[in-house]
Amino acid sequence: MYAKKKWLSLLLFALFAVLSFLALFPFFCLLLASFKPSTELLRYGLNLQLQPEILSLNNYYYLLADGRIYFVWFSNSVIITVLNTALALLFSSMVGYALAVYQFKWRNIIFATVLFVMMIPIEIILLPLYKLIVSLRLIDTYWGVILPFVVSPFAVFFFRQYAIGIPRDFIDAARIDGCTEFGIFFRIMRPLMAPAFGAMAILQALTSWNNLVWPLVVLHSEEKFTLPIGLSSLLTPYGNNYDILLSGAILSVIPIMILYLVFQRYFISGLTVGGIKG
């Protein structure tokens, strides 16, 4: 029996090792290609051929030293991602908590509406959102990118599912002690929902950081561009700077990796518990 379990563990390890390699293979190719000149990329494409004689840091030098606009794009993405993630976590968690805990009229209809909105692609509501932002005079501003998504339907659903599984005894005890409803949420429920906040922080930040379509519609000035828009602007009908594009793409992964390392202990537990409750 022990030998059977040992072989099963080895097979699972081998399987996941192969899957991990397949998942990371494109990134390794991208990382290696970021040190090669554009002529090699156009000739051989992305590959794992190690040629020390042609590898250099020139692409990163041109990107960071000569192309200082990259720092502007990077800072714009950081600002928008931080604001969007913080506001989305705040408002989505409050809505999800309310749908899970309070009994009020139209509660089920509101929750069904949230589920319906989750299934609507952004392309369908692009024109109405654009008209709304124009009427609010928020075109070419950070808030024009952030405000339409301060409440995420998926985050509302996730927080509701997580809050349903939390015993009501905590809430009842806080009310008996005279705590207000906002006090209950911020002092009692928010610490209990920490794994959900950690998981959603990663997912919301990743979505905002990689968002291209909506910022491309709202932002017009080059100094307001986010990283996805700025990097895509390197590909033009007059010339394609693939070497600079790849080095910029590699650097753009760093903030998300740091965010995951900070919240990784909450990520798996938050997704697992939130997915099975309710």
Q: Write out the chain's pLDDT in tens, 278 residues.
A: 667 777 788 888 888 888 888 888 888 888 888 888 877 777 777 777 777 777 878 888 888 776 578 888 999 999 999 999 999 999 999 999 999 888 888 888 988 998 898 888 888 888 999 999 999 999 999 999 999 889 989 999 989 988 888 888 888 888 888 888 888 888 888 888 888 888 888 889 999 999 989 999 999 888 899 999 988 887 665 556 777 888 888 888 888 888 888 777 766 665 555 444 44
Say if residues 89 and 212 touch (Cβ distance below 8 Å).
Answer: no
Question: What pLDDT score was predicted for residue 277?
Answer: 46
How far is Cα 122 from Cα 215, in angstroms, rounded to an integer? 12
Side chain identity at 264, as an amino acid letter?
Q
User: Domains of the chain (ranges plus CATH)?
Assistant: 1-66 (no CATH), 68-276 (1.10.3720.10)
User: Can you give the pTM of this predicted structure?
Assistant: 0.83
Two structure tokens written together for 240: 């394609």
What's the pLDDT score for residue 240?
Answer: 66
pLDDT of residue 60: 83
Q: Are strands 235-236 and 239-240 parallel, antiparallel or unpaired?
A: antiparallel
Return d(Cα 135, Cα 94) in angstroms, integer. Answer: 28
